Amino acid sequence: MEKQIRAICPEKVFKIFDINRDGIIDESDLKFTFTSLGEMNVSEDKIKKMISESPKPIDFDAFVSLFEDKEMEFDSEMDLIKAFSKWDKKNSGFLDEEELRTDITSYGDRFTEKDTDRALEEAPLCDQNGKPTIDYIEFCSNLCGLQNITKTDVFHERCTRDSRKQ
Average model confidence (pLDDT) for the chain? 75
pLDDT digits (tens, 9 = 90+) for 95-127: 999 999 998 888 877 888 888 888 888 888 888
Locate the domains of the chain by residue range.
10-69, 77-146
pLDDT digits (tens, 9 = 90+) for 79-100: 888 888 888 888 888 999 999 9
Is-same-fold flag (10-69; 77-146)? yes
H helical segments located in 43-76: 44-52, 60-66
- pTM value > 0.75: no
CATH 3.40.50.970 is held by the domain 10-69: no
For 77-146, CATH gives 1.10.238.10
Geometric angle at alpha carbon 144, from 73 and 47, rounded to 5°: 40
